[in-house]
Amino acid sequence: MAASMASQAAARGLRTATSKHVLLDKLKGSWLTPRRWLNLQEYQSKKLMQDSGVAVQRFYVANTASDALDAAKRLNANEIVLKAQILAGGRGKGVFDSGLKGGVHLTKDPAVVGDLASKMLGFNLRTKQTSEEGVKVKTVMVAEALDISRETYFAILMDRSYNGPVMVGSPQGGVDIEEVAASNPELIFKEVIDIFEGVRDDQALRMAVNLGFKGALQRQAADQIKRLYDLFLKVDATQVEVNPFGETPEGQVVCFDAKINFDDNAEFRQKDVFAMDDMSESDPIETEAAKWGLKYIGMDGNIACFVNGAGLAMATCDIIDLHGGKPANFLDLGGGVQERQVYEAFKLLSADSKVEAILVNIFGGIVNCAIIANGITKACRELELKVPLVVRLEGTNVHEAKRILTESGLPITAAENLDDAAVKAVAAIKK
């Protein structure tokens, strides 16, 4: 299915690429691990949809081969689809280290499901979106396979340009929505939702018509659209993307695959949803950083970037690259930072064997530079930092911060500006 950012790009007329692609271009091909938000497995998203009355395939979840076989028999379906449950895309064309090819299998014989599951569960599945080692499969979904006579695309997302939710749809589904928007922009339809009114009947029906549903299927599709919006509100989603939003030869409108993004700020009232989060597929450093309120993105260079704010992080990565270096990551402190967070950030960075130098680039707006300086000196002493450290501080209480660093007696290289910091960090790893 399309990437989760695709529908947001579609809603804006696809004038810009996704943030991941932009940063990849800026770093001239350096691999970037996306920031980790709550990301549910396919079966979990389907369960949320099912609970909201959205039409999905009948399915069961299994953790053992025998459970998968039992599930296949209970379905009593004409055809069964067995899907490995990992967060990476491209499962259908993936390869298991058991030798099995494909993380998605169709069969009309329930008896073979157990054998297929035995070659999936406990084995690593490698796809175009995983590392070389792949991801260990712990769960499979056993579902009724339904024929799709026609595929459409539908999404509901929060869009800042409209200050609220927007429906985005296209009669061409099952493909990358960005490609549709680029080649046939007239096939992208939008409906702005009034947050107080919700999705009106006429809006839902108009979208169903624009998606190409005919006759009685129009009302059925409109009903599913309204149910999807109910789900959107119920779980505090920022996006519900269904691709394909299809129809079957029997005259059913079904959500065959879905991606749900959630508002992290709503975690306090979505405890059950966030409890589903499986961190086992996340980068361990990213997971540890999140415990301390830090945002970590890993790359393949050797200069660690310790910053506050995504914009400053991208600028820091750019200028390191400009001077011939390669960023190993960026680690974003955010706003209300405390000394302990600075210490934990250094602990994470110094444990990364790729890191040969650390560049600290902080602009103190709401951040107090003296807090940063105290955290830096504490970390350097207690962790016995072995790699060169370049620090550029600017903004709130910067003079006090520079005094702290200077009087610490630690081997910290001060930089006057961002360009100076990048030059010194690159030079440090070349010594």
From the candidates 241, 247, 344, 356, give the one annotated as an active-site residue: 241
Residue 57 marked ligand-binding: yes
Q: How far is the C-alpha of 225 from the C-alpha of 167, rounded, in Å? A: 9
Residue 228 marked ligand-binding: no
Long-range own/partner contacts, residues 60-63 (CB < 8 A, 24 or more apart): 60/141, 60/142, 60/143, 61/85, 61/139, 61/140, 61/141, 61/142, 62/117, 62/121, 62/139, 62/140, 62/141, 62/142, 63/121, 63/138, 63/139
**Residue 386 near residue 350 (C-beta atoms within 8 A):** yes
Where would I find the H helices in 163-264? 177-183, 201-210, 216-234
3-class secondary-structure state, position 154: strand
- Write the DSSP symbol of residue 101: B
241 part of the active site:
yes
Residue 146 marked ligand-binding: yes
Residue 92 marked ligand-binding: yes
Residue 366 marked ligand-binding: yes
Residue 372 neighbours by CB distance under 10 Å: 30
- Cβ-in-10-Å burial (0-12, 13-18, 19+) of 431 comes to exposed
Residue 257 marked ligand-binding: yes
Q: CA angle at residue 125 from 124 to 128, to 5 degrees?
A: 135
The two tokens of residue 409 are: 């007696």
Residue 177 marked ligand-binding: no
DSSP-assigned states of every residue in 33-45: PPP------HHHH
**Residue 103 near residue 141 (C-beta atoms within 8 A):** no
267 part of the active site:
no
Residue 365 marked ligand-binding: yes
At residue 50, φ and ψ (nearest 5 deg) are -60, -40
**Residue 41 near residue 278 (C-beta atoms within 8 A):** yes
DSSP-assigned states of every residue in 297-324: EE-SSSEEEEESSHHHHHHHHHHHHHTT
Residue 15 marked ligand-binding: no
Q: CA angle at residue 30 from 387 to 22, to 5 degrees?
A: 125
**Residue 430 near residue 401 (C-beta atoms within 8 A):** no
**Length of the chain, please?**
431
Q: What are residue 154's DSSP bridge partners?
A: 169, 242
From the candidates 43, 153, 229, 343, give the one annotated as an active-site residue: 153
Q: Which of 259, 262, 260, 193 is CA-nearest to residue 226? A: 193
Residues forming the annotated binding site for GTP?
A: 57, 90-92, 146
Residues forming the annotated binding site?
A: 57, 90-92, 146, 243, 257, 308, 365-367
Residues forming the annotated binding site for Mg(2+)?
A: 243, 257
Q: What is the set of active-site residues?
A: 153, 241
Residues forming the annotated binding site for substrate?
A: 308, 365-367
